[in-house]
Each structure stands twice: as C-alpha cells, then as structure tokens.
Amino acid sequence: MSELESRQDRAPVPSGWDYAPAPESRDIVTIEERYGLFIGGELVDPRSGEYFPTLSPATEEQLAEVSQAGPEDVDLAVRAARDAYDNGWSSISPAERAKYLFRIARILQERSREFAVLESLNGGKPIRESRDVDLPLSAAHFFYYAGWADKLEYAFPNRRPRSIGVAGQIIPWNFPLLMLAWKIAPALAAGNTVVLKPAETTPLTALLFADIVRQAELPPGVVNIVTGDGRTGVELVKHEGVDKIAFTGSTEVGKAIQRELAGTGKKLTLELGGKAANIVFDDAALDQAVEGIVNGIYFNQGHVCCAGSRLLVQESIYEPLIAKLKRRLTTLRLGDPLDKNTDIGAINSKQQLDRITELVAAGEEEGAEIYQPPCRLPEKGYWFAPTIFTNVAQSYRIAQEEIFGPVLSVLTFRTPDEAVEKANNTAYGLSAGVWTEKGSRILSMAQKLRAGVIWANTFNRFDPTSPFGGFKESGFGREGGLHGLEPYLDLGESEVRGG
C-alpha cells in the first residue's frame, strides 16, 4: 500500500455535513436601557411618563424600555415639525435638501453592519436578509430621492410641484428600517417635514436612525420619531396639524384610518395586506421556480405583505414540483437570527405566532394536507416551522386570509384563464408572480392579473426606481419610483407655456 493510500485510510469519515455556527457579534450595537422620544432634534422624556419593554423575539429577552407617546407628546412632535417646515426646511434650495439626503444615505452605508445587527435582534429576521437586503435598499432609497430633490419641475412638467407640509407616517414591524426609508426619503425630497411612528414591537432601528439624523446635521424638527402602540398612531392620525398620512399595515387599521380622515382634506396613502398568487406554468424551469417559491413565501418568515402565499401550479407538473419543493424545505435552516447560516428566523411576536397557529389549525380542520420538514424549534422565543398545505380549496381560510407567516397554500389549475380567475379571487391585489418561458404569456397574464406588482420568473425583487402598491383591499397610492413623490407634493394647476 502506498503512503498516500495509507494516509487516506486513516482520514476520518465525516458523520454529517452540518453547518458550524457563524454568529454575528452583538458588540457593534450599543442599546440604551431606556429610550425617549426624538422631537425637535433631541431625545426627550415622554410627557405621558409611560414606558414599555421591547423584546428580542428569538430569546424573549428584554432589550430596552421605550417611551409610550401620549397626546401631549404627539402634539409636541407635530408642532416641532410644523416649526421646522415654516422656518427653513420648505424654503431652502432643493439642492441643499438633496445634500442632506445624500449624507443620510452615505451614513447608512457606513453604519450598515450596526443597523443590520439591531434589525435582526429586535425583529427576528435572519442577519443575511438584514445585511444583504434591508440595509442596501434603505440606503438606495435615500440616494434615489436625493437625486430627485432638485429636479421636481422636470419630474412633473407643466406643473407647479410644492411641498404639502407635515407628513404623519406609521410603519409596520416586518421591515422597520426599509419602511422608514420608503416614507422619509420622498417626504424630505419633496420639502416636507415628518413625524414617524415605528411599530410597537420594532422601534429600535428607528431610534438609532435618529442618531443618523443628528449626525447628518439635519435641521431640528425636520424628522421626529414618536414610539408607542396603536394609541399613539390614533393621536397622529387625528392631529389637525398633520397634512398627510402614510400608513403601511393591516387592512383593518387602514380602513379605520380612511374613515377617520374622510372629509378632512388630508392626503392619504395606504399600503395594506396581500394574498399574492405565485403562478407556475408547465413550461417553467422547475428548479428556478422552486427557488422563487421559497423566496416568495419563506423570506423574512413570511412577514411580507406581498408574499407569494398562494401557489398555483398547472396540473401536469403538480407532482414533480411539490416533490422538489418539499425536498428544498428540508434544507432550510431555522434558528438564531444572528447566525449567518440561518434561513428562517423568529416570528416577530407572541401575538403574531398565535395568529399563524390559529390559521394553520383552521387549515387542518378544513381538510387541507399539511407538510412540515423535520425541524427542531428552539425552546425559547417565537418560532414556526416552514409549512406547505396541499389539497387546498379556494374557500379555505388559509387560501383567503393573510397569514403573514411561513405558510404556503397550494392550488392547481389547467388553463391560463383558470389561473387568472383563481389568482384574482381574493379581496387583495398587491402582487403576483408568473413562471413561464413564454414572453407573450407573461405579458398576457400581467394584463389580466389584478395586482399592483407582478414579477416574471422571479419574486420579491425591489428597486427604489420602481413603484410599489396595490388594488382593492391592498390599499391605494404608490411608494418608490417617481410615483412615490406624488403623495408628498401639491402639483398645483397645469401651466401652459408659450411664446
């Protein structure tokens, strides 16, 4: 036996190919024990005197205490925003406003690791997603709208674009920093000031953003951040000093806001829930489609308003596609959000976990077949295994209601017309996906699907230049792109120019 063969015989045989833990360090982030409200350029104690804990959903540990803003606090923030608007921000040159936005974008990039760790710590999403998706996109939105700030007259020719005043903005817990960027960047570019209320369960990155506002030397009062539960949001919506409300969240709350603002003359945009159909035709590249399906529903634990939570598969490829999909689920890694190997992190809160659990139980009771890969859930924290339901009827709750979790409902179709009918058979109309090699079929489906965003041979792809929004109970108005500036502008009367 040669020396080489002898050495090979003595080499240990691996017992498995498990990933070694690759945790991201928490040391880069400094979390205060207690946070105030960011009003008029500084953190102030709440006049309400109330605080509440904010947790890590992965461990249930308390990260900090956060202020519960009351009516007085909201009023103080709105008055600070109005003062900043009237005394400088609305009248400075657009080029100067652009400089501030560019500065914010660059600082976000420089501090991206710090923000990514805090986003995963407070929200439960995998660090890979925070690092590779949320942070780059957040900075990109500020860069994009910085470019438009001094070009508004070119963006809206023959119009007279003017800022509208104070914008009240309420954002959800699934993409805390990205939703902040979606709303603050166009508002500032248009010359408005802002009072932002982050979600109750994920306020920490918004409060850290306040530090960026100070670092960028934005004039005091241009951006104000008030934390709290739904009561704070109600006070912001009702305040007479607010000229525009932008809300992203549940359809039920969106309807309540619309009723409250009816007849007030305030501008309103709503980005609400969704129940997107991901449609796979028999000529699609199945392996590519499987990756798109997984990204469409299990990205961010399914905490995505445009998640592809309904999978419509052409009957002739149903069995091979489901077999590939189930096999792919066995490779997903669920666990510590700060581990770089993690694919599926923690559910954001106990309340959301209870909602997911309830709807999954309803799906089983109604007769759908459930599949969950072998998956060991951590003992502490809020966790739910990736789930597939087959033999789903359109009338089942899991096919109609937004679950907002890692749960996929699978239906079948025979013809393109049947696919369109089933895809549109929902109260929502936010997004959809089409998988086929035929360009003509993509264009035909896009014309027939009643959804604001339609992806072709991909899913969950975002870009600051592209508008995002829905139809029906998914809301109205657009965020992103040139369209995202319109809700923050008074375009005035058309101006006819001639010799």
Q: Which of 271, 402, 473, 479 is catalytic?
A: 271
Contacts of 277 (CB under 8 A, 6+ apart): 308, 310, 311, 312, 419, 422, 423, 426, 432, 433, 449, 451
d(CA 366, CA 395) in angstroms, rounded, equals 9
In the three-class reduction of DSSP (H, G, I as helix; E, B as strand; rest coil), residue 412 is classed as: strand
Q: Where are the alpha helices (DSSP H) in 37-134?
A: 71-84, 94-110, 112-123, 127-129
Going through 232-368 in order, the beta strands assigned E by DSSP cover 244-248, 267-271, 277-280, 310-314
Closest CA to 305 of 186, 442, 451: 451
Contacts of 468 (CB under 8 A, 6+ apart): 271, 306, 452, 453, 462, 478, 479, 480, 481
Query: Under a CB-based contact definition with an 8 Å cutoff, are residues 440 and 466 in contact?
Result: no
486 is annotated as an active-site residue: no
129 is annotated as an active-site residue: no
Q: Which of 235, 305, 401, 479 is catalytic?
A: 305
Query: Under a CB-based contact definition with an 8 Å cutoff, are residues 44 and 197 in contact?
Result: no
- Classify residue 449 by its DSSP letter: S
Contacts of 282 (CB under 8 A, 6+ apart): 314, 316, 317
- Classify residue 25 by its DSSP letter: P
**Cβ count within 10 A of residue 11:** 7
Quick one: CA torsion of 45, 49, 50, 55, rounded to 10 degrees? 30
Rounded (10°) angle between helices 135-148 and 94-110: 170
* Residues catalogued as catalytic: 271, 305
